[in-house]
Each structure stands twice: as structure tokens, then as C-alpha cells.
Amino acid sequence: MAQPLVKKDDDRDDEKEISEFDYVFYCFTVEYSPFLGIEKGAVLQEARVFNDPQLDPRRCSQVITKLLYLLNQGETFTKSEATGVFFAVTKLFQSRDIGLRRMVYLMIKELSPSADEVIIVTSSLMKDMNSKTDMYRANAIRVLCRITDGTLLTQIERYLKQAIVDKNPVVASAALVSGIHLLQTNPEIVKRWSNEVQEAVQSRAALVQFHALALLHQIRQNDRLAVSKLVTSLTRGTVRSPLAQCLLIRYTSQVIRESGANTQTGDRPFYDYLEGCLRHKAEMVIFEAARAITELSGVTSRELTPAITVLQLFLSSSKPVLRFAAVRTLNKVAMTHPMAVTNCNIDMESLISDQNRSIATLAITTLLKTGNESSVDRLMKQITNFMSDIADEFKIVVVEAIRSLCLKFPLKYRSLMNFLSNILREEGGFEYKKAIVDSIVILIRDIPDAKESGLFHLCEFIEDCEFTYLSTQILHFLGIEGPKTSDPSKYIRYIYNRVILENATVRASAVSTLAKFGAMVDSLKPRIFVLLRRCLFDSDDEVRDRATLYLNTLGGDGSVAETNKDVKDFLFGSLDVPLDNLETSLKNYEPSKEPFDIDSVPKEVKSQPLAEKKAPGKKPTGLGAPPSGPTSNVDTYEKMLSSIPEFLSFGKLFKSSAPVELTEAETEYAVNVVKHIYDGHIVFQYNCTNTIPEQLLENVTVIVDASEAEEFFEITSKPLKSLPYDSPGQTFVAFEKPDGVPAVGKFSNTLKFIVKEVDPTTGEAEEDGVEDEYQLEDLEVVAADYMLKVGVSNFRNAWESMDPDCERVDEYGLGVRESLAEAVSAVINILGMQPCEGTEVVSNNSRSHTCLLSGVFMGNVKVLVRLSFGIDGPKQVAMKLAVRSEDQAVSDAIHEIVASG
């Protein structure tokens, strides 16, 4: 063995010495690792030992181990290499060595031989399956079921049935596990084993009972009644295996979810069984039952109590896995039932110092959710020492919990804000620092008293911030909130320091922030002008351009300044057009004498259009197809509609909907409809496609029955003269409605046409045709059709700029809902507005949520909506709706839409 490295005397003070034990251990590992530096070619050469007349079981096992290692490391064998190895391995069946035989089984499974190669080993495996050696039998069953196809499976089915009820648990489990795998490929064969599997469920062997129950449930999983009967029979105490008991608890929970509570008595089916499992002697069964109870839909405090009690006992367990499982479950319960977990707070406080940092983090976040106002200061002291010992991902969880606690107890904002500012100065990655900054920003917005201290902490942070994104985010926020404070001048120094010390991106953001202070605070304008003039000599053109623009806008360059309102609209107003649409319009703009007009940019947010449900490989063309890319549907449709004389008097087109399918996929005729909304009219554009090559359709019209749409009156229609195969065409029907009224209704549609047969050889149609009609799906005009999805970049500024006199607020009960997410989605769909700032996403198990929406109502009236949701009672969702718009009548109309929806 090589001698340990000897260091020079003068190096010992500067370098860390390697211990002799570590060095010897390293050399031993390198020298004796069986997989070090192995190559496929060398191992394939070694595989020739499989052909020796006198087999060496130990040597053969080593070679197979190397081959398995190569396969599991992603090494690929060519077809000839795999075939050669496979045939060589089959020769090892002549050896009687049990260890080598097990390696042979593994090798055959990993090689996955082809159908013609399987025949070579089938006889040997079937012989082993009937062997007196149980180890051979179990492994042979696994291998056969892995490599066999449906034909061979029917031949060995009798043996597999016998194996399921075999007295040896290893053999029975092997057959049952193989059945679970085979159920994916040959379900009909496995379903015939139900009687044997049912018998195996009564086995006294724990593993057999576990596998048998899993297979029996999979066989019956599509039959709810059969699963319910299975659970009913087994919950009477015939299951002894703890593993099987855990499975049964999960199946019982599934049955409870599907059946719901008894509406007359309020009792849940099988709840007594779950509660009884809390007294089981096996810890895994107790925990599974407790977790199942806590996850019951609409669980009450009375039902939770026994589960919380056993979880509380697990918190003081000596086993880390039990402590982790208990605190993780309690953490989830605290989201929906914080009061039910308060009895565990003392036990969880002791877990803050747990050696397992995952347990400590969950304990901290749970305490923050369940603690009261008096315990906040004590918790903060404990968390301070704890934060330095955990990874960033755990720190983010703690920060989010602290933010929620501060919003829950706003009077404690000082201690919580100080804590956030302290950890903001410590080392950490981008996501961690971003979570802290986001939390401080939210606290400033929601707690007015925290504004001054919060802004000061953010200013101190950007003095030494290494993340450009966070610096620009803070500068933008500072430009909005800073001028509204009692002494805005104190923030100027921090902002201008960024102009001197930072990179170009941050410098440009700082220039914009300075301009906002100059626009909002007249007393600071002279000082701001001086600073902006200095920025005119910056090395970056973006910084210079911004400084020039803002000086001109504010009047700092000697020119006539814009009006105060125009300046504020420019600096603080939201962009009224989606950025995607603006980008597309700028790309399509051709330089000319006419300057680019931002009013020409379409304001509607483009949603993904419904795909044409046609035969595969056929792409719709023409106006019947949804426009590709973010180009404006309204512009495209408006040009087309303006070319039709009957529609010229309707005025300007307000909105065109996405195509609505009126036929199923793969039908004879594919029809979808686009709703074109005018102030006093609505036009239905029916896009039709003939998918039958042997037919030509002529005089195609849609007969519309508006008996369920009382406010609409049909005034004209435009038929389609001819509709050849695979050539989309359009037919139109126009209705009149009351001006400016969001009328709704339901329309029945029937496609009517003359069909002519087409000669497939010549492609010519017959002269005579036959009148025919085709029933289409009903079409609805809803309130959302009168609303354009137009987002705002800063909802708060847009809301405050709206006239408060046009605000209307009311509360509504939305009834029973599965979740808050479902309620939020339903209201968004009813209004047809654009969610802002990602507020359409609802956190799991959340009990309250705020959603912000914006849009433009018919008549080009801007509308903003603030929705506040809360769960009131079991699944009862309440909603507070606040609407601001440019027209008081529109605010009232939005409330009427929600009330009637």
C-alpha cells in the first residue's frame, strides 16, 4: 500500500492535517471498490465465465453484479450484446447454488428479453415455480410475470392461483405482488383471481394480508359499491397486519369522502372505526387513523379531539419519525382549525430545540399559527436563536408564518418588523431575501403604522444589497410610498446613493424613483432637479434617457412642464394595454410619417383559443380558425364584419369572444361560433367545416331559436352559398338588443343546408341535392360577454385613482362550495374580468382570500373589483364585493350580475 502523504514542517501551520485513519480509509475504499473504473467491454469479456464447464458460483455472481451495476447506471447494451449476455446467463440454471440462482433471476428481469428469447427460459422458470425450494418458487413467479405476455400467462394462471393461497408467505406475497403489476397489462386475467385473493386477505401472515388487500382493492376500485362492501366487511376486525390496517384506513377515508355525512343524523359512516384505530397497539396504525380524521372534509372540533390527543402524545416520543409525523400533521390542522391545536403548544415549544431541524421548523410555524398575542414576544426570542441553524428553504417557511402572524396581530408589528429587518441583514440566498422583502412590503401596505419603520428597514437593506431584482423592486415601492410619508426628504440620500454606487439597471430605477418624489413633493423639486441633471452625464444611455425625460416632464430643463395631473398619470398611472399586445403592435408598426399611436394597441387580454375539434392532421384555415399569435381578434373580425353591408350600421365592435364549440369532436360537421358584441346588437358568426369528402353543402344557414332570450330580436342573417370538403366557411345571424344593456339569454341552433353527393374520381357534385339539417349545441350569451379582460400593472394605484363616489359594496352568500378556490374561479368566470397580481391563486386549506379583478365594461368603462372571500361554517362561503368604475351605473350593474349569477 502507498505510504501516507508527509507534510513539510512549514506547511503545518497553514494547512489542515489529514488524519492517518482518514487516509487509510480512503486508500481502502479506492483500492477495494468493486465498481471502480469498470468498463462495459471488460465486463462482457468476463461474462465468458458463464460458459465454463466447471462453474464458479462466486465468480459468476461477481460478474452479474457488475452487469447489473452497469445497467442501473444507464449503460446501454446493443441488441447483440444483450442477446449474448442473456443466452450466457440462461446456462447458469444448471448450477445448484441458491445465491447464484437469485442473481440469475435479477439479471433476466433487468435484461427484459424479447418474446422469441423468453421461450428459452420459460421451461426453466416453470420448473423452478414448481420446485420444492420456496426461494426458487417465489423468484421464478416474479420473473415469469415480469417477462411474460398474455398468451403465456393463461398457461401459468393455474400455478399462480395456487401460489396465492400457498402456505409459505414468501411464495404467496410474490404471487400477489406479481398480480398487482399484471393488473396494469392483463386486467381481465387478474380479475379472475378474486376468490383466491379474498382467501389470502384472511391469511395470518402480515405481509400476505397487506399485499392481498392492496390487490383486491385494485381489482374492485372502479366499483364504488364493491369497495364499500369490502371496507364494511373488513372493518369488523378481521385485519391483523398493521400494514394492511393502514391500507384499510385509507380505503375507509375514501369511502367516507365519497359517501359524505348522514344528512339526518350528521354522523359519518365508519368514523367509529377510525376512532377505534386510535387505540391500536401499532404506532403506524394510530398515526394513519389520526391523519385520516384530520383530513376529513368539514371535520368538526368534536371529531378532531381524539386525533389531536394521540398526536400530542407522539410529540414527546423518543422516535424522530413519530415527532416529525405528528408535528407535520398538526401544522396542516392549524391552517383550518388553529384553536384545536392550542393544547399542544407547550409540547411543540420543547421541539424548537429539537436536533432535527425539519421538526423544529414545523413546530415554529405551527406555534406561529396557533399562538396568541401574549406569546408573540416569547416566540420571537426563541426563533432568533433558531434561525441561524436551518437552511434557507426552512427560513422561508418561518418568514411566511411570521407575516401571517403580524397580519393577525397588527399591534405586534414592531417586534415582528424588527425581527424581519434583523434577519434581512444576515447571509442568505435570493429566494430567502425576496421572501423577507415581500413580507415587509405586505406589512407596510396592510398596517399603516408600520410604514415609516418598514421603509427605513428597506432603505438600509438596499445600501448593501447584492440582488439587482430586489433593489429595483424596493426602489419602485419606495417611489410610491415614500412621498406619502411625514418626511419624504430623508429617503433621498438612500435613493441617490444607488445612482452613484450601483449597476446601470439599479441606477435607472433610482432615477425613476427620484422623479416620483419630485412629482409628488413640490418642496423637493429643486433638489431633485439638481440630482437629475447630474444623471445626464451617466455612462449608461438608459439612465441618461430617463433623466432627460423626467427633467422635461417636470419642467426642470426650462421647458413648460406638464400639468400636475398629467405628470402623476405618467409616473404612477398603470399601462392600459397588455405588454404582449404592445410588443406585437410595435413589431408590426412600419415607419412612416404617421407616429405610432398607443391607442391603436388592442386592450383585450388574449386567452388561449379553443382548439378546432377536427380530424387529426387537418388544420383550420381562414376566418373560421382562431387567429394565431397575440394579434387582435377584434381588429381581424372588425375588418371582416365591416365588409358586410348588413352590419355597417351597428357601429364600432366592442368585443369578439373566443370560439365556442357547438359540435363534438370527430362529427360529420364541425361548427363553432364567435359572439361579436356591439352596443345595441350582437352578431353570431358560425364557423362551419365539412369533414365528409363525398359531400358538398350549399345554402348553409343556422336557424336560431331565441325563445329563451326575450330581449333579443333577429333582424338579419347571411347564408353561406357553398361549403366544400375541408374548406371552412362562415354564416352569420344578427340580433338587436337594448342599447348599453348586458342582456343575456339562451339560443337553440340548427344547421340547415342542401347536401349534394360528390364523385370521388372527378370531384364534381351532382346537380340535384337533398335538404337536410343537423342539430347543434345550445349557445348562451352571458354577462361576461360584455366585459373585456384588461389588466392593470398596479391595482392599488388604479383603485385609488377611481372616484370613491362610484364605489358600491355589498356582501353575498355563495352557498356550499368544495373549496375557496372553486368559489373564486366561479365568480371570475361570471364576471369575465382579468385577475391582477396573481390573486386568482388560492392557497391550500386557506380560510380567507382576497382577489383583485380589472376589466373594461361595454361602453369602454373601466371597472375594478375587490373580492374578499371567507368560509363561514361548514363549506359555506361568504363574499364581500367592492366595485369601482368610471360610471356609477356600471358599478350597480356588476352587483346585479353577481346577484343573479
Question: Between 333 and 568, whose confidence is greater?
Answer: 333
Model pTM greater than 0.75?
A: no
Label residue 644 by pLDDT band (50, 70, 90): confident
Which residue from 681, 747, 756, 762 is spatially nearest to 722, judged by alpha carbons?
Answer: 756
What is the average per-residue pLDDT within 599-622? 47
In whole angstroms, what is the distance from residue 261 CA to residue 299 CA? 10
The cell numbers describing 340, all together, are 384545536
Domain 786-900 is of which CATH architecture?
2-Layer Sandwich (3.30)
Instruction: Specify the range with the lowest mean pLDDT, choosing from 55-59, 563-567, 761-765.
Output: 563-567
3-state helix, strand, coil in the chain (%, to 5): 55, 15, 30
Q: What is residue 667's predicted lDDT score, i.e. its pLDDT?
A: 81
What is the average per-residue pLDDT within 736-740? 88
pLDDT(621) > 70: no
Question: Between 785 and 581, whose confidence is greater?
Answer: 785
Residue 201 near residue 212 (C-beta atoms within 8 A) = yes
In whole angstroms, what is the distance from residue 158 CA to residue 192 CA? 11
DSSP string, 582-630: HHHHHHHPPPSSSPP-GGGS--SPPPPPPPP--STTPPP-GGGSPPSTT
What is the average per-residue pLDDT within 66-92? 86
In whole angstroms, what is the distance from residue 116 CA to residue 87 CA? 12
- Spatial neighbors of 748 by CB under 8 A, at least 6 apart, are 704, 705, 707, 708, 778
The cell numbers describing 750, all together, are 340548427
pLDDT(287) > 90: yes
What stretch of H or E contains 44?
helix 40-46
pLDDT(232) > 50: yes
In whole angstroms, what is the distance from residue 420 CA to residue 133 CA? 67
Q: What is residue 116's predicted lDDT score, i.e. its pLDDT?
A: 66
In whole angstroms, what is the distance from residue 544 CA to residue 551 CA? 11
- Work out whether the CA dihedral 616, 621, 626, 630 comes out positive or negative: positive
> Per-residue pLDDT tens for 309-330?
999 999 999 999 999 999 999 9
In whole angstroms, what is the distance from residue 66 CA to residue 80 CA? 19
pLDDT(5) > 50: no
Q: Name the segment(s) of the chain with CATH classification 2.60.40.1480.
A: 644-781
DSSP string, 462-497: HTT---HHHHHHHHHHHHHHGGGSS-GGGGHHHHHH
pLDDT(133) > 50: yes
Q: What is residue 652's predicted lDDT score, i.e. its pLDDT?
A: 85
Question: Between 482 and 21, whose confidence is greater?
Answer: 482
Question: Between 679 and 393, whose confidence is greater?
Answer: 679
Label residue 564 by pLDDT band (50, 70, 90): low
What is the average per-residue pLDDT within 865-869? 91
Label residue 611 by pLDDT band (50, 70, 90): very low
Q: Name the segment(s) of the chain with CATH classification 3.30.310.10.
A: 786-900
Label residue 16 by pLDDT band (50, 70, 90): very low
Three-state DSSP state, 713: strand
- Spatial neighbors of 28 by CB under 8 A, at least 6 apart, are none
Q: What is residue 566's predicted lDDT score, i.e. its pLDDT?
A: 66
Alpha carbons within 13 A on the beta-carbon side of 91: 17
Q: What is residue 557's predicted lDDT score, i.e. its pLDDT?
A: 57
Residue 787 near residue 863 (C-beta atoms within 8 A) = yes
Label residue 391 by pLDDT band (50, 70, 90): confident
In whole angstroms, what is the distance from residue 424 CA to residue 568 CA? 32
Which residue from 413, 414, 458, 406 is spatially nearest to 434, judged by alpha carbons?
Answer: 458
**What are the Cα distances from residue 186, in Å, to 190, 194, 197, 200, 835?**
7, 14, 16, 20, 47
Q: What is residue 874's predicted lDDT score, i.e. its pLDDT?
A: 64
Average of per-residue pLDDT values in the chain: 82
The cell numbers describing 787, all together, are 366585459
Q: What percent of the chain has pLDDT over 90?
A: 24
pLDDT(146) > 80: yes
Q: What is residue 141's predicted lDDT score, i.e. its pLDDT?
A: 87
pLDDT(883) > 60: yes
Q: What are the b/e assignments for 478-513, b being 16+ CB within 10 Å?
A: bbbbbbebeebeebbebbbebbeebeeebbbbbbbb
Q: What is residue 334's predicted lDDT score, i.e. its pLDDT?
A: 85
Superfamily for domain range 644-781: Coatomer, gamma subunit, appendage domain (2.60.40.1480)
pLDDT(188) > 90: no
Q: What is residue 119's predicted lDDT score, i.e. its pLDDT?
A: 75
Q: What is residue 615's predicted lDDT score, i.e. its pLDDT?
A: 38
Instruction: Specify the range with the lowest mean pLDDT, choosing from 423-437, 596-610, 739-753.
Output: 596-610
Q: What is residue 612's predicted lDDT score, i.e. its pLDDT?
A: 37
> Per-residue pLDDT tens for 26-68?
444 445 566 777 888 888 888 888 888 888 889 999 999 999 8
Residue 457 near residue 481 (C-beta atoms within 8 A) = no
The cell numbers describing 589, all together, are 408598426
Which residue from 873, 827, 829, 866 is spatially nearest to 850, judged by alpha carbons?
Answer: 866
φ, ψ at 699 (rounded to 5°): 50, 55
Residue 740 near residue 858 (C-beta atoms within 8 A) = yes
pLDDT(834) > 80: yes
pLDDT(794) > 80: no
Q: What is residue 115's predicted lDDT score, i.e. its pLDDT?
A: 61
Q: What is residue 620's predicted lDDT score, i.e. its pLDDT?
A: 40
What burial class does residue 69 get, using C-beta atoms within 10 Å of its C-beta: 0-12 exposed, 13-18 middle, 19+ buried?
A: middle
